Chain A
Amino acid sequence: MNARVLPYVLILPVTAFLCLFFLYPFVLVAKQAFSTGDGFTLDNFRQVVGYWKFPISLQNTLLLAAAVVPVQLALALLMATMVNKMQRGRDLVLYVWTIPLGISDLAAGIIWLAIFEQSGFLNSMLSGLGVVDRPVNFLSYQHPGVVFLAIALAEIWRATAIMLVILVAGIGLIPKEYYEAAEVFGASPWKRFTRITLPLLRPSLQTALVLRVILAFEVFAVVLALGGTLFPVLMSETYAYQFDLLDSGAAAAMALIILAISIGFTLIILRALRVPKGATI
């Protein structure tokens, strides 16, 4: 086969597959969301946005993302710079730090449930130290703050690794000569970090943030495992529409709302961290 046709033959399966299972479903979900049986309508959107739980779940999702993503970014940057200058044990430390990468959000929720539930390890520790007499039921409606904290911790624990991997790979691409030159001119470690690492890491930061923020709007199983119905988020509401209320039109409308928020934030991140043309390493 000649080299003009071959690449198209090779990319045909993926293109066909993505058209059928990625682009076409988007058309379907839009059709579902904008119709209730007879023609174009915004009824589904009016219905889901007007529901009393919608503002709470939107607020919860955004608050959680706002609390979790900056901490993860700082933590991942710290870990990546620490690993970068490590001489011994680098592989072991990196393996340990990337373990959560392979752990599902459901499993992460269950792991943190073991800590926060009423007969869990946090209560065992607190009573061992004599702080509490009886085990406290942390994950209940009396302690909304603790529920939020538990979910945020589980998310930080689970999903920092994905940013770490991207940032470590990105730092590895920065030429060592830049740091040596900076050191010769007497730049402090902090200066080197802010003047060399951060600017040159911009493409990786972009990818890491986009990926992470989208995942943050998809938060679902962690919340269900730890908070149940105490902490409604957009994704759990979508699931409830589809399954408990059997209203696929409303579920589709929720899906489009999540999608719109994700795309909006993706564009903001891409714009804020855009790499000037021609300024590559």
Chain B
Amino acid sequence: MAANPMTQFEVYRIGPEIKVGAFDISFTNASLFMVISSLAILIIFNLGSKKNSILPNKIQLLAELSYSFVSKMISDTAGSKARPYFSFVFSLFMFVLFCNMFGMIPYTFTVTSHIIVTFILAAFIFIGVTVIGFIKHGFGYLKLFVPSGVPIVLLPLIVVIEIISYLSRPISLSVRLFANMMAGHTMMKVFGGFVVSLGIVGGWLPLSFSVALTGLEILVAFLQAYVFAILTCIYLNDALNLHH
């Protein structure tokens, strides 16, 4: 492989070029791993929900533990009103988690290491949450920008800050995931390159570091999926239970 640690993020066409109007929607390696992740999720959870035994087998246990994990996460952060959005948060968490985890396999492609993917997800969440907020509370939703118990003098400043922080939500949400995945994979690639260039004599140190980094990256892969999902829950909570 090329020595440049950024080449792993290259997107390239698999198969023929598909064009719809002016848009190129060719099947790429990114598309491939989106499809693989989705299929893996569907297969695992389909197997996990097929048979209902009182004593669940391993795959059923996995599916049910994931279900209750996400369910608890939503009810803890957004309360019972967020119940209708459970499926979405569950799909989101699983999609991000599986994309991150598939990216940990050598020679694979990490879908979530692309800002465009995470940004589309974050933008959809942002728009969705804003729409839900306005549907539930009307223009009362704007009270979100006016925290209670703030001195009148500071209010204009606070409102401006609140609006900026609200608008930067999709950016922070998407950049957090994208940057974490990209940085981790780049670092692993760099250390992998050190192993090769230092050879059998000096390569052991970066190799051991690489092993440790792999463990850390798996943790980060899970953690970032969790953070992505829980921030979605927190934004939903703001929209559903306006308490300002």
A and B associate in one complex: no
